[in-house]
Amino acid sequence: MVRYQQPLDRTFIALADPTRRAILARLSLGQATVGELAAPFAMSWPAVTKHLDVLEGARLIERERRGRERLCRLRPVALREADAWLEPFRQFWQDAFDNLARHLAQPSGATEESEHG
């Protein structure tokens, strides 16, 4: 077996780049050819291909040859793993913000709110 980086590592590294996130956002709307992906990003074909290599290595997308076109498609599994890793953090802060809203709404808060201003 080939020694790869940890799967989650590859996912996060792939997602760290804004262009790759934009590509994923485009693919979240539906499959696209490499040419279609390159057009809105004003990028050269090789530049797009490089990004697609990273995304494919992270299992975020899959490519399929169809005639002379290469069709790209989102593979949400890796993204879901990254998301699952983050979920407890997200939940923590959402709850904390809920608590904070309640706390700030209390007229008898923990501290007196001064009103000069």
Partner 1 sequence: MAETSAVQPALLRLARLFPVSTDRLFQALMNEAEVAAWLHPAGMTCAECRWPARVGTNWRLVLVNSDGRRFPVGGRFLEIVPSRLVRLTWIWEEHDYAGIETIATLSVEPKAEGTLLTLEQQGLPDEKARRAHAQGFGASLDNLSQHVRSTTSREGAKA
Three-class secondary structure of residue 1 per DSSP: coil
93 half-sphere exposure, CB direction, 13 A CA radius: 4
Please tell me whether residue 40 binds partner 1 under the rule CB under 8 A: no
Evaluate whether 72 touches 50 at the Cβ level (below 8 Å): no
Please tell me whether residue 52 binds partner 1 under the rule CB under 8 A: no
Instruction: Give the nearer residue to partner 1 in terms of CB position, either 59 or 70.
Output: 59
Per-residue DSSP letters for 2-65?
A: --PPPHHHHHHHHHTSHHHHHHHHHHTT--EEHHHHHHHHT--HHHHHHHHHHHHHTTSEEEEE
Least CB distance to partner 1 at residue 17 (A) = 8
Q: Count residues contacting partner 1 (CB under 8 A)?
A: 47
Least CB distance to partner 1 at residue 65 (A) = 17
- For residues 73-102, which are near partner 1 according to CB under 8 A? 74-77, 79-80, 82-83, 86, 88-102
The correct pick among 18, 46, 67, 107 for binding partner 1 (CB under 8 A) is: 18
The structure tokens 């980086």 sit at 5
Rule CB under 8 A: which residues touch partner 1? 5-6, 8-16, 18, 21, 24-25, 28, 74-77, 79-80, 82-83, 86, 88-104, 109-111, 113, 117
